[in-house]
Structures are given as structure tokens and as C-alpha cells.
Amino acid sequence: MGRPGVRDGPGSQGWAASITGRGRPARWSSASWLATFALLLPACGPGAEGSPARDHSRPPAPTVAPTVGPTVALRAAGAPELAAANRVAEPRSVQWVALTPATRIEEPAYLRVEGRRGLRLCAPGCFEGYTLIAPLRSTSVFLVDMDGRVAHAWSSEHVNSGPVLLTDEGHLLRASLVEDNPRFRGGGMGGRLEELGWDGEVLWSWELASAQRTLHHDFKRLPNGNLLAIAWEHHGPEAAFARGRAADFIPRDGLWFDMLVEVRPQPPRGGRVVWTWRSFDHLVQDERPGALDFGRPADHPGRIDINADHRFAARESEAEGRERHSREGAMAALGYGSFPAESSRWDDSRSGSSRGDQGGGSSAAGERFDADWLHANGLDYLPEEDLIVLSASHLSEVWVIDHSTTTADAATSRGGRFDRGGDLLFRHGAARNHGAPASPEPELYFQHDPTWILGARRGEYGLLVFDNGTRRPGGEFSRVLELRLPFDSAHGFADPSGRGFGSASTVWSYQDPERFFTPFVGGAERLPNGNTLICEGARGRIFEVTRSGQVVWDFLNPLGGDAEPSAKTGRPPAHALFRATRIPRDHPGLAGRL
């Protein structure tokens, strides 16, 4: 799989990074949690330069060898690549503490834990604050200090389903699970948005959880106070066929298309949807000339090929099929995928086979397919340009969408600031999906959590992307990428030649193939001091790395597991995390509270 490493790409000098619109912490005061963790964990403290780091990942010993970090590869503009070994700060005065023992899981390997859960390292150079987490198998949300202690917590009646944000008022915004949805299920399933006060009182709640549409995965708060969220929208098999979906790849209950909804909260229990964008309105297909949206995907790069998820699937051998079924069975048990069944194709149901309730299946050629064929799992908003970035994980792409449109214009290819309506302004990750002349292999593999980064100059923008690396050829490993985008305020992301889009360039990356991999969930946040906070979601590990790749804070989540797994979401690991967010000590929402 190659050596672990950190890479600064060409032209990275002067590329300043800042974060826009990330989530903030939440609340729940529980004396039992605070007292318990105060006793279990030692103080880390800010520390002065040169002060000892504390590594809690090993039992006590007379001497402790330093933990070797990833190899660092640096590249300056126009200069040859230079390699240097980089080490995590050497621990001294190590103190071993009695944290919750981790259960060693032999398979799958990405859940395996060495040592005990809790704080493993706190070294000089980390960004001071609190880390906000919402374990997927819990009804509680936690604010963890730099020592790994619970500083504050919120409790709810409902299971966490995704991100949590702390507002400037000290309120917690969270996504939670609606259990009884009649159709939708799988990883990221939600249905409810809530606002809690610092004391845990429910101030506002809104549900979108019907058989036609339901909230899932991610949301963001906009500067006007509205919330922008991802939802699934169901369309039956006839509608999918009419839009040019290949019949062999239509589940008998139809397809789930992702959409965006902007809701204006109306406390205590209500909301008004004021803007929508629907992927269903922006399709292209070359399957049937008589169907809607017929055309070559290469001629319509701003539209989504309705057959892209299976177009490049290779016919597999019997052995490959067994391996795939085993791997996907394990993932389905965790709630990822649409629970495939060989008899769940729409064409089977038309031929008279008994109707099932599965959301996915396999084609006659043996390829896997899902009702959730796009699987949008992350979004962010850029107020400077009124733009949205959306992750379409099953297509291994990130998309940029114009938010300046009206809802009516967003359903067309005209209108908005760039006069493209709701068509995609930019896409990156798998150029083959829109017929671009590029490598046949994607650059991203089932990614999560794209977030905007501001450049050093006005009008320069980048993205931080968590690339899970699931099914990566040559070996699965995760990485975090910082991309510089080809944007100018006059033309947007258009290629100067007038064909397609400009190209994004990678200016920084972090990977550690031997120790860093999560096939589902995960995220990354660029911190104000230039470090990056990384959440290795499946294992529940959160760690902070410097620009050079030095790990300066490492925490293995011991919280969660108090909620029983839902039949709608599978069985996420007890300590799994959707994402983690570092809250600065001077955040307005913490003033006078911590």
C-alpha cells in the first residue's frame, strides 16, 4: 500500500487555510459523567514549547520508546520532492490510567484496537479547546476537554444519527433518528433535527421522515439561521425507467435520489422549507433515445448520469463475487448499503416473482447496486460565494451547487449567479462519470465530509475532503486531501476552453496506510492554527496532526454503546463517530459556562 505520508503539493506556499461554518459543541450536564472521567484521566494542560507530551496508549514501563509517525513528503513549487522522517513527540513522565478496556475485535481489521480507550497522546502544538462528539450508538452528546475528560454532556430521548453543532448562543443543534420510517433505512438514516439548550431542554424539533422523503446524514446552519440538510427522495421503478435507468439496475421498489432542503425553524415544533434542490431534476442518460434526458454524459458535464453507479462495474469472477458478498454482508450488518437480495430487481417483479421489500440487489451480470445509488453523506456552505459543496459517496465525487437560485430555477439549467440553475457548477473525484478524458480510476473512494477552505487571497478557495479509500485498488486506506479549486468570480469553475470544468490540484494530504482506515463515516476539520483534526469514524479514533504530519493529540473514544442498534440503521460499532469538531476555548457559546 506504500509508505504513510504527508504531502504538500506544488504551489502550496502562501496557501493559508481557515475554516468556515463548522459545527460547535453541545451540552448535557451529568455529574456522574464528569466525576467518573475526572477521576480516570490525568491532566494534559496546554504545555509550553518543549514540555513533555503524555502518551496514554501503553502500560507503564521504565522507558517508553517514541511513537514513530508517518513519513513526511514536502514539495515546494518548482522544487524536487524531499523526504524526511517525522516522529510524534517523544513521551516522558508517562502515566497509565484505568480507562474502559477496549474489546479486541479480530475481524474486521479496521475495528481492531490496541491498548485501552481514552486519551492516548497530548503534546505541545495542539489547538486548545473542547472536542464535540455524538457517538452513533448513544442518545448523549459529549464535550471532551484536552485531557479526554467529559466537560459537558447532553442527554436526549433519541439516538444520534449524524453531526452536532454548537451555536453562538450555547445551544446544541443535532440530527437524530426517527425509528419508524416505512421505507428508508441504512447508514446515516435520520429524520429529525433538534435544537437543545445548554441544560438539555428541547427548544425546537422538526421532522422530515415519510415514505417519500427523509433527512439523512448531514446538515449545516446558514448565516440567516436556516438549516441546510440532505434528504432522500423516493421515485418508483417506472419513474426511474422513464428517466433512462438501465432496467437491470432498478430495484423493485425504485431508487432514492438525494436532494437538499433549506428549512426555516418555527419553534417549538415546526419548520418551513424555503428552498430545495433535487438531483432528480439534473439527470442525463444514453441508455434509451426515447426516454427523457437523453444525451452523452460528456456533452452534459453539469448533469448526473443516472447509470454512473454501475457503468464501470467489471464482470466479476465467482471468487471475487464471494469475497464481495462477504465484505458487503459485514457492511450491511453495520447499516451500510441497501441490504441486497438477488430477487429484488424490478424486472424480476415485472416477470411475476414475489414482491420483496429490499432496497437493492444484483444485476444479471452479478454487479451490486443500491436503491441509495448516490448516497450523499456530507455538505458545507460557502457564504462568500453562496455555494454548496455536496459529497456523492457512491459515485466517489464531490459536487458544487449554486445556492443563489430560486427553487424554481434550481430545477432547471438556467438562473442564479452563474446562469446554470441547479446543474453542477463543479465536480471532482471520478472524471469518468461525466465522460472527461482522464484516468479510468477515481481519485476519491467513497469519501465523506467536504469542507470549504479560504485561500490566502480573496476569491481563492479550496476543499478539505476525507477520502475513506473503500475499495481502493492496491489496498484500502484512508487519507485527508486539501484541494485547491479552479475558481474565479467571473466564470466560476468553467474550463477556459469552454468544455467541462477546470481541474482541482492537491496541495496537501495526510495518510498512514498501516494505521489509518475507516471504510465508512469519518471527517476532517482544518483548525485555526493550521493543524487538522481527523476522525477515524468506525474505530472512534480522533487525532490532530500538524502540517508536517506530526500527531499532537490522539483520543480513542470510550463513550457510547448505551443505545441498542436499530433495525433501520444496522449495527454501528459501540464507539463509532460520524464526525468530531474542535470548539475553541473562546467560542461565544462557552462564555460563562466552562
pTM for the structure as a whole: 0.81
Answer for the pair 458, 452: CB distance below 8 angstroms, yes or no: no
Please tell me which residue, 206 or 25, carries the higher pLDDT value.
206
Asked if 551 and 55 count as a contact pair (C-beta separation under 8 A), the reply is no
- Record the cell numbers describing residue 288, joined without a space: 434509451
User: pLDDT class for 55, splitting at 50, 70, 90?
Assistant: low
Give 413 or 14, the one with higher predicted confidence: 413
What is the pLDDT, as a whole number, of residue 317?
Answer: 57
Q: 133 falls in which pLDDT band (50, 70, 90)?
A: very high
* CA–CA dist 465, 401 (Å, integer): 17
Q: Using alpha carbons only, give the angle 501, 447, 502 rounded to the nearest 5 degrees.
A: 10
546 CB-contact burial (10 Å; exposed 0-12 / middle 13-18 / buried 19+): buried
Mean pLDDT, to the nearest integer, of 530-557?
98
Calpha distance 474→308 (Å, rounded): 23
pLDDT at 219: 98
3-state class (DSSP) for residue 269 = strand
pLDDT band per the 50, 70, 90 thresholds, residue 567: confident
* Distance in angstroms (rounded) separating the CA atoms of residues 572 and 537: 10
Beta strand pairing status for 5-8 and 479-484?
unpaired
pLDDT of residue 497: 61
pLDDT for the residue numbered 176: 97
- Over residues 79-107, the pLDDT tens digits come to 232 222 233 333 323 333 333 444 443 45
**pLDDT at residue 315, rounded to an integer:** 57
Kindly report the number of other CB atoms within 10 A of residue 378's CB atom. 28
Q: State the pLDDT at residue 554.
A: 98
Residues in the chain: 594
Q: What one-character DSSP code corresponds to residue 279? A: G
Residue 365 has a CB neighbour count (10 Å cut-off) of 12
| pLDDT level of residue 500 (50, 70, 90 thresholds) | confident
Task: Give the pLDDT confidence score for residue 14 in this predicted structure.
Answer: 36
- Mean of pLDDT values over 260-276: 98
pLDDT mean over 313-327: 61
Span between the terminal Cα atoms of the chain, in Å: 44
The DSSP bridge partners found for residue 215 are: 231
Q: What is the pLDDT of residue 435?
A: 83
Instruction: Give the cell for residue 205.
Output: 424539533
Q: Is 225 left (phi over 0), alpha (psi -120 to 50) or beta?
A: left
Going by C-alpha positions, the residue among 593, 550, 559 that lies closest to residue 132 is 559
Q: What's residue 571's pLDDT?
A: 81
- Cis? peptide before 513, omega within 30° of 0: no
Averaged over 194-220, what is the pLDDT? 98
pLDDT in tens, 4-44: 566 555 444 333 333 333 433 333 333 344 433 443 444 45
Confidence check: pLDDT of 512 > 60: yes
Of residues 336 and 301, more confidence is placed in 301
Q: Of the candidates 464, 552, 456, which has an alpha carbon nearest to the alpha carbon of residue 509?
A: 464
For residue 262, give the nearest of 295, 301, 296, 222 by alpha carbon: 222
What is the DSSP code string of 491-555?
TBTB-TTSSSBPPPEEEEEEE-TTT---SS--EEEE-TTS-EEEEETTTTEEEEE-TT--EEEEE
pLDDT at 69 over 60: no
Q: Which three cell numbers stand for residue 155?
A: 442527554
The residue with greater pLDDT, 499 or 35, is 499
Check: CB of residue 197 under 8 Å from CB of residue 171. yes
Band of the pLDDT at 495, cuts 50, 70, 90? confident
349 phi/psi in degrees, rounded to 5: -65, -35
Residue 312: pLDDT band (50, 70, 90) is: confident
Per DSSP, 285 falls in state B
Within 8 A by CB and 6+ apart from 530, the residues are 17, 546, 547
Beta strands at 340-341 and 360-362: parallel, antiparallel or unpaired:
parallel
More confident residue, 46 or 218: 218
Query: Which is more confidently placed, 496 or 218?
Result: 218
Tell me the three cell numbers of residue 502: 477546470
Angle, CA 504 vertex, CA 507 and CA 375 arms, to 5°: 105
pLDDT grade for 314, boundaries at 50, 70 and 90: low
pLDDT of residue 322: 63
Q: How confident is the model at residue 439 (pLDDT cuts 50, 70, 90)?
A: low
Q: How many CB atoms lie within 10 A of CB 408?
A: 10
Taking the alpha carbons of 265, 270, 273, 274 in that order, is the dihedral positive or negative? negative
Question: Could you give phi then psi for residue 328, rounded to 5 degrees?
Answer: -70, -25
Span 138-145, average pLDDT: 98
Q: Which three cell numbers stand for residue 408?
A: 424554481
The radius of gyration of the chain from alpha carbons, rounded to an integer in Å, stands at 23
**Mean pLDDT of the region 170-195:** 95
Q: How confident is the model at residue 71 (pLDDT cuts 50, 70, 90)?
A: very low
Q: Report the chain's mean pLDDT, rounded to a whole number.
A: 80
Q: What percent of the chain has pLDDT over 70?
A: 71
Task: Determine what percent of the chain is predicted with pLDDT higher than 90.
Answer: 64
Helices (H), 152-276: 237-242
Grid coordinates representing 543 are: 487525532
Q: Which residues on adjacent β-strands are paired with residue 289?
A: none
Three-state secondary-structure class, residue 588: helix
Band of residue 174 on the pLDDT scale cut at 50, 70, 90: very high
